[in-house]
Amino acid sequence: MSFCTVVYGLNIQLDRDIPGIVASESLRETPDIDIRFGFFPPWFDAKSLKRKLWYVRSANNDGEPPRLTVWELNSPSAYHFHYADGTQFLIDSAATKVWATWPTDTLTVEDTATYLLGPIMGFALLLRGYVSLHASAVAVQGSAIAFVGPAGAGKSTTAAALANFGYHVITEDVVTLRQIDNSFNVEPGYPCIRLWPASVAALYGTNADLPRLTPTWDKRFLDLTQKQYRFQNDPLQLRAIYLIDNRIDSANAPFINSISQPDALISLVANTYAQYLMNKEMRAREFNVLSRLLKTVTVRRLVPHSDPASITSLCETVIQDIDSQNLGNGAPKPQATSFHV
């Protein structure tokens, strides 16, 4: 049986339903990417195929295998990903086919899906010529507002907090940029926000019990298909980017500062998705896209308070800044409503 969905603006066909996405059994268009689980194609033989090393991420501790190794295959042209836990992916160089395998005695399809919807799709987008930011995006007054920052900066927590206030979430973790004339659209991701337990407690209280993302991982997920939430199914024009800075313990926080274009460009380059997998050609394209992006959006620096309980104040600060900068398109605001899980 085949399932299909649209993620990051691409039509995806899968041979099984996976957690975190909303899939149907009918495909309206020819798939951009066909994904197969549990096997590699018959032609794949790591020992006999010619390949060269593309990337290695070192182990956390001496004596352990690399956390990730990626090879480039020559004939047929493809890329082979091998994670330390035994999960493997094969992607053809045109990013039209993906195969995934994992050790079924220790891992689950949910574990594999976390790789697939993150770094694997991020690399597929790179191969297709797209630049993505390591960010979350929310629809505010009819425009896309992105929150950019490294892992742990609070991108997902901010998106979930705004979702509690009735704002539509566009995407979490991967913000894919698609140029339309002289502006850039953000493509919708999938209706799920991944949160660490500390973020769940800050947002919903210590008694909240969101389901685990996978049986083997303590990260939780917020299902945006629930009736109290809204997922943005259509792309929106990106109007503003907030660069999330280090948290500080100050009575003034949270607050927002302006940032120069050169500093903004440096920050965006540092926070493009899957940047560690880029070659020189991809880097050049990234620099060109981000330079053009900065001519069309407002970039601001967002400084959060170190107290997790200040997340409501942070959301209010962002909305006030959007109003004062006239960054929305005049669409009505949702009513502020808090939800509990």
φ, ψ (nearest 5 deg) of residue 126? -60, -45
**Averaged pLDDT in 10-residue chunks for the chain of 341 residues:** 89 88 71 95 85 91 90 92 96 97 93 93 96 96 94 92 95 94 94 92 85 87 91 95 95 94 96 93 95 96 92 94 78 50 46
Nearest-angstrom CA–CA distance, 203 and 322:
22
pTM value? 0.91
Nearest-angstrom CA–CA distance, 329 and 157:
25
Nearest-angstrom CA–CA distance, 258 and 182:
23
Please give the structure tokens belonging to residue 127.
């191969």
Nearest-angstrom CA–CA distance, 133 and 273:
5
pLDDT in tens, 94-125: 999 999 999 999 999 999 999 999 999 999 99
| Residue 255 β-bridge partners | 303
Q: What are the sequence ranges of the domains in the chain?
A: 3-127, 131-325
Q: E-strand spans in 166-321? A: 168-171, 174-180, 183-186, 192-195, 212-214, 217-223, 236-244, 255-258, 298-303
CB 167 within 8 A of CB 139: yes
What pLDDT does residue 239 have?
A: 95
Nearest one of 160, 134, 308 to 221, comparing CA atoms: 160
Residue the block writes with tokens 């399809």 = 109
Nearest-angstrom CA–CA distance, 57 and 66:
6
Residue the block writes with tokens 């704002």 = 167
Please give the structure tokens belonging to residue 272.
């493009």
Regarding beta strands 212-214 and 97-101, do their DSSP bridges make them parallel or antiparallel, or are they unpaired? unpaired
Nearest-angstrom CA–CA distance, 208 and 191:
20
Please give the structure tokens belonging to residue 275.
């940047």
Nearest-angstrom CA–CA distance, 326 and 187:
22
Helix (H) or strand (E) holding 165: none
Residues 6+ apart with CB under 8 A from 328: 140, 141, 142, 143, 239, 322
CB 134 within 8 A of CB 176: no
Q: Left (φ > 0), alpha (ψ -120 to 50) or beta: where does 46 sit?
A: alpha
- The CATH number corresponding to 131-325 among 2.160.20, 3.30.450, 3.40.50, 2.60.40 equals 3.40.50
Dihedral sign, CA of 205, 209, 214, 217? positive
What pLDDT does residue 341 have?
A: 46
CB 293 within 8 A of CB 279: no
What pLDDT does residue 333 have?
A: 59
Nearest-angstrom CA–CA distance, 246 and 302:
9
